[in-house]
A = this chain, B = another copy of it.
Amino acid sequence: MNMHKKSCLVQRLSHYTDLDETSLDSIARFEREEKDVSKNEEIYQEGDHNIHLYVVKRGWLYSYADLKDGRRQIVEIHHPGDIIGFPDIAFTERTTVLKAAEDARLCPFPKKDLDEVFKASPQLAALLFALAVRNQVIMIDFLRAIGRMSARERIAYFLLDMQARLRVTNKVTPGIFRLPLNQTEISDVLGLTNVYVSRSFTALERDGLISRSNGTVEILEEERMKQICDFSDRHTKLDTTWFPGAYATAG
């Protein structure tokens, strides 16, 4: 009852720059419609015609890519406040499958709405651009993890990354967070198997770096964890000095 005066998208975007009126109007348009999806539902498939983007209001979702023989790779995890679908706007068809990791609520909006943003709201355009390219850096980090880290290091990396993401919107209890993904899903994120995810989790727990209970994880030794996987947080800071208009925090 007390929330919703500020949507989580506005909240997220305001974190990076002061939004002008035009920007706020555009964002409001993004969130006109709402759609509930239930756990394990697949919202779209690879190859589907691609006309909408989605704002996540509630729940975790993820995007994955399949190989023919059943192997799959989860390539992005979507949290409340995320916009889903940017990677695909350059194409007419979906390149991944979007699946709900738990019950969730989405706001679909047509990608054609973006042309208005580019014409009328350079500030928001620049911000979305910045977020899109920031995502690329996040994927670069991720690639480094998958390509060059051991199983143990990957798990550490994964947990720290989830934590850093969640910290942007929720200022909840530090170090502890809900993880609504099963180990098979985590293995598909990290390029491992569910069995080895289990073993690595157990090992990290045995060494006192983390602890688990139910669907939540607590990071006990953040510094040691960061050392393990050479982690750097890409989520909290954003350089907005090059943004057009008077809204840049040019300091």
Contacts and interface: CB of A to CB of B under 8 A. Distances in A.
Given A88-B137, A115-B244, A239-B89, A65 B130 contact: no
Contact of A134 (B90, B119, B146, B239): B90
A241 B125 CA distance: 17
Interface residues of A, number: 60
Nearest to A64: B144
Interface string A123-144: 0011011111111110111111
Contacts of A204: none
A44 B139 CA distance: 20
B86 A133 contact: yes
A71 interface: yes
A148 interface: yes
Interface in A50-83: 50, 65, 67-68, 71-73, 75-76
A196 interface: no
A118 B123 CA distance: 8
Nearest to A85: B133
B89 A133 contact: yes
Interface stretch (A22-30, A31-39, A91-99): A91-99
Contacts of A129: 118, 125, 128-129, 132
A86 B126 CA distance: 12
Interface in A158-199: 190-191
Nearest to A227: B68
Contact of A146 (B191, B243, B245): B191
Given A65-B141, A95-B137, A112-B242, A191 B86 contact: no
Given A95-B140, A129-B129, 4 more contacts: A68-B230, A76-B140, A112-B241, A139-B139
25 contacts: A50-B239, A65-B141, A68-B230, A73-B144, A75-B143, A75-B144, A87-B133, A87-B136, A87-B137, A87-B140, A88-B133, A90-B137, A91-B137, A91-B234, A91-B238, A95-B141, A112-B242, A116-B244, A118-B243, A118-B244, A132-B133, A139-B143, A146-B191, A147-B190, A147-B191
